[in-house]
Amino acid sequence: MKRKTRFFVQTFGCQMNVNDSERVAGLLASRGHEAAPDAASADFVFINTCAVREKAASKLHHSLARLRRLKKQRPELRIGVGGCVAQLEGRAVLERASHVDVLVGTHNLHRVPELLEEAEATGRTAIDLDRKADPFAIPDHVVAHGSPVRAYVTAMEGCNHVCSFCVVPRTRGPEVNRPAGEIVREVEQVVARGHPEVMLLGQTVNAYDHGGVDFAGLLARVDRVPGLRRLRFTTSHPEHVSERMGDALRDLPRVCPYLHLPVQSGSDRVLESMRRGYTRRQYLDTVAMLRSRVPDLALSTDVIVGYPGETEAEFEATLSLLEWVGFDALFSFTYSPRPGTSALRLPDDVPAEVKSRRLAAVNDQQQLWQRRRHGERVGGREEVLVESIDAPGRVSGRSRHFRIVHLAGDEGLVGRVVEVEITGAGPNALQGRLAQPIH
Ligand code: SAM
C-alpha cells in the first residue's frame, strides 16, 4: 500500500478472533495506515469472521451485503474477509460476494497489507488460504490491544480434538504451541505498555506443551513477570485438566481463581457421540479435584442443547449436571450443523422449538442460581480491577472470580485495582462502592 489507507476492522467471534483482529489492526498501523472509527469513513474494511455456528457465519454475509451498497456509492472502497469463514468456505465466499478484494485464511493474516496492495494493483481479488503458513507471523510489538486493561496473548493455535460438532480443527488446523520464552516476552511487553492483566489464549489452552514446558509450567513462568497484576486463560478442555494445573490455580498469586471449562452435555450417550473424551462422572471428578485444591474456584461452562438424537431425559441430564456443579456463568447454544464435521452425518432431528425451549430452560435455571449466588456476596468485599467507563461517573470492572462489578468512579480508576464494598446484586453483575483504593 503506497498511499495512506484508513482502515476499519470488524470482528465476529471468540477472543481468538478478537486477538487476530488486534494483530491485523496493529500491522496496518505499523505500515503507516490509520484506524477509522467506522466502516462508513474507512477506505478498507476488514471483516474477521467466526464459523462456529451458522448464525455467526451468516453475520458475515449480512455485513457484506451492507458493504456492497457502500461500495456502489464509493467504488474505491476495498473489502477484506479473513478468519474462520474465509478458511472454511474459501473461494465460495466470492460466489456470493464478488466485491471482496482480499480473502485470507486464519494462517495468513500477516499478508493483509500486501494482498491489499496486490488487489489495488490488479483490480482482482487477492487470495491467500495457505494453511501451512506460520500463524504467529505478525510481530507482537505491533499488536493494537483493544483494551487498556486486559491484553490477550496467544499461547497456542489450532486444536487436535475431533469433537463431532466443531468446525475449529478445520478452520484453524492442528495445534501449534508457541515457545514459552516467546509468550513470556510478549507478556513482558504488554505489561510494560501498561496492561495490568493478561489472558492467555488457545482453543485448548491447557493442552499447552512445548519444549518440556506444560501448561502449569507456562503459568508459573508468566506469573513471575514483574508488574503483572492478574493472569487468566481460556479455553480449557476437561481432558487436559491436571492436578498440577489445580495446584497452579491455588498457588500462583496472579493466576485468578476462575476457570472456563466447557462440558457441552450432561449425558454420557451425547458426550460419547460428541467425542468429547470424558464421561459425566469424569467431568464431575475433575471439578471435585479442582475444588478440593481451590475451594472458592469460580467455574463457567458451555453447553449445547438439541444435539442430534438428544432425548428429554438426556437434556435433563444436562440440567442436573448444571445444578450439581453450580456454575458461576453459562454460555448456552442450540446445536448448529456445520460443514465438514462428523455430526453432519447424524440427522439434526430435534425440532427448532424444542431446541429453543431447552435453551430457555437451561438459561432460566442458571439465572436463578446466579441471582442467589450473587445475592450472597452483598455486604462483602471484592477486589476489582476497573476496566471501563459505563457512563459519566460510572465504571465497571471484574473481581478476581471474573464477576462484573459496577461502581461510581471516573476514568482515573481504569486500570487500577480497588476494594469494593458490594451493595447490590443481579443475576449478571454486582454493584458496589469504593471501599478504599488498594494501589
Ligand atoms: N475451542 C474454542 C474455545 O472454546 O475457546 C472455540 C469454541 S466455540 C467458540 C465455543 C462454544 O461454541 C463451544 O464450546 C460449544 O459449546 C459451542 N459450539 C461449537 N460448535 C457448535 C455447534 N456446531 N453448534 C452449537 N454450538 C457449538
Residue 268, burial from CB neighbour count under 10 angstroms (0-12, 13-18, 19+): middle
Place of cell 495506515: 33
Please provide the DSSP assignment of 322-373 as one string: HHHHT-SEEEEEE----TT-GGGGS---S-HHHHHHHHHHHHHHHHHHHHHH
Kindly state if the Cβ of 260 falls inside 6 Å of ligand 1.
Answer: no
Of 109, 94, 41, the closest CA to residue 70 belongs to: 41
pLDDT for res 58: 86
Residue having the nearest C-alpha atom to atom 25 of ligand 1: 335
The closest of 128, 47, 134 to 82, measured between CA atoms, is 47
Q: Is 14 in the pocket of ligand 1 (CB under 6 A)?
A: yes
Q: Is 52 in the pocket of ligand 1 (CB under 6 A)?
A: yes
Please, which residues bridge with residue 232 across strands?
199
Atom of ligand 1 nearest to the CA of 234: 5
Residues whose CB is less than 8 angstroms from the CB of residue 408 and which lie 6 or more positions away in sequence, other chains included: 393, 394, 395, 433, 434
CA of 394 to the centre of ligand 1 (A): 33
Q: Which three cell numbers stand for residue 396?
A: 465497571
Is the preceding omega at residue 171 within 30 degrees of 0, hence cis?
no
Find all residues with CB under 8 Å of 420, minimum gap 6, and list them.
381, 382, 383, 384, 405, 407, 432, 433, 434, 435
**pTM (2 d.p.):** 0.95
Query: Does residue 152 line the site of ligand 1, with CB under 6 A?
Result: no
Host H or E run for residue 303:
strand 298-305
Judge whether 166 and 52 are in contact, CB under 8 Å. yes
Query: Does 308 contact ligand 1 (Cβ within 6 A)?
Result: no
CA distances from 183 to 73, 174, 223, 317, 387 (A): 44, 19, 12, 40, 23
CA 157, 163, 168, 173 torsion-angle sign: positive
Three-class DSSP labels, 70-101:
HHHHCCCCEEEEEEHHHHHHCCHHHHHCCCCC
Residue nearest to atom 15 of ligand 1 (CA): 302
For ligand 1, is residue 53 a contact (CB within 6 Å)?
yes
In the β-sheet with 6-11, what is the strand arrangement from edge to edge?
Answer: 34-35, 6-11, 44-49, 78-83, 102-104, 126-128
- The pLDDT, as a whole number, for residue 67 is 96
> How many whole angstroms from 318 Cα to the centroid of ligand 1?
16
Cβ–ligand 1 contact at 209 (below 6 Å): no
Given the CA of residue 202, which atom of ligand 1 is nearest to it?
5
Report the atom number in ligand 1 closest to the C-alpha of 341. 23
| Residue appearing with cell numbers 487436535 | 160
Nearest CA among 91, 86, 239 for reference residue 170: 86
Atom of ligand 1 nearest to the CA of 337: 23
Index of the ligand 1 atom closest to the CA of residue 16: 5
3 state DSSP class of 302: strand
Residue stretches of the chain with pLDDT short of 50:
1
At 437 the pLDDT is: 55
- The residues near 3 (Cβ < 8 Å, ≥ 6 apart) are none
Q: Tell me the three cell numbers of residue 9.
A: 476492522
Amino acid at 420: V
Tell me, in angstroms, the distance from the centre of ligand 1 to residue 215's CA: 22
